[in-house]
Amino acid sequence: MSQDKSRSNLSIAKSEIKWFFKNHEVTKEDSLNLELDLNFQETFPLITKLVKKASITEFEMEKEKYRLYGWNTSKNNSCGWLCKLENYQSDLNLLFEHRLLTNTIGGIKEVWDEFDEIEKTDDFTLNQNFLFIQSMCSKGIGFNKDSYLSLCNKQDKKPLNNFDELIKFSQEANGNMTLYDSVNGEVYLHARNHYFDYVINIESQPEYTFYKIIGVKTFKDFVEKIAENWLSIIDGRG
């Protein structure tokens, strides 16, 4: 099922992420040449490079707008993002870079990776319920708060400063979430259960609560790391 000129972006997405399209009618399908402004290009140079390599399709479904970004890997297999486009401005204190990203390319709702090439390289986009979508972001760690505070109390550890003000911008299917500090953009992973080898324990925090991600300090770093990981497979460097 390699992505080629005989198959549209949408037909590939419908095949690879069937569950998203099931029993829904797609309307207003159209290919797109996306112009990225200079501010976006300077803020996200690797995402810019990745998007410029994409075949892009916009469509509507259930009165919602979406955009598909599709690529061929170096082995000629398809991979891509299904992004939601929103006429929505969150009342959360989102970072400028976060708003710039979603207002330009949308927020990621689904991804596909035909033969698990990306899975070997990128830990940030697969198995996620969403990434970056403003209407799905929230403040704090939700139902995990009580158990987190209980762990801190039992282990005589101080809760992370302003943990309740962190912005959740990504959540895995298993409940793990990625958050940032809206003051300095610093990124944290909150994981109640994991086997990740790309995270660092925070000594002041109980195990299976807050972690730092290796090589990622800020939200911008996180976004650019995703692009780096996908480019490595698309360009054959993975």
Domain borders along the chain are: 9-129+219-233, 138-213
pTM reported for the whole predicted model: 0.94
Residue 216 DSSP code: B
Q: Are 117 and 77 in contact (CB under 8 A)?
A: yes
Contact 168, 137 (CB under 8 A): yes
Q: 2 pLDDT band (50/70/90 cuts)?
A: very low
pLDDT at residue 1 in the model = 41
pLDDT tens digits for 60-76? Answer: 999 999 999 999 999 99
> Which tokens hold the place of 154?
């039992």
Residue pLDDT, tens place only, 19-35:
999 999 999 999 999 99
Given this model, what pLDDT does residue 194 score? 65
Please measure the distance between the N-terminal and C-terminal CA atoms of the chain and give it in whole angstroms.
21
User: Could you report the per-residue pLDDT of 148-204, keeping only the tens digit for each?
Assistant: 999 999 999 999 999 999 999 999 988 999 999 999 999 999 998 766 788 998 999
134: Cβ contacts below 8 Å, ≥ 6 apart? 86, 88, 89, 90, 92, 94, 98, 99, 102, 107
CA distance 186 to 108: 20
How much is the average pLDDT of 83-91? 93
Q: Tell me, what's the pLDDT at 5?
A: 46
pLDDT reported for residue 238: 65
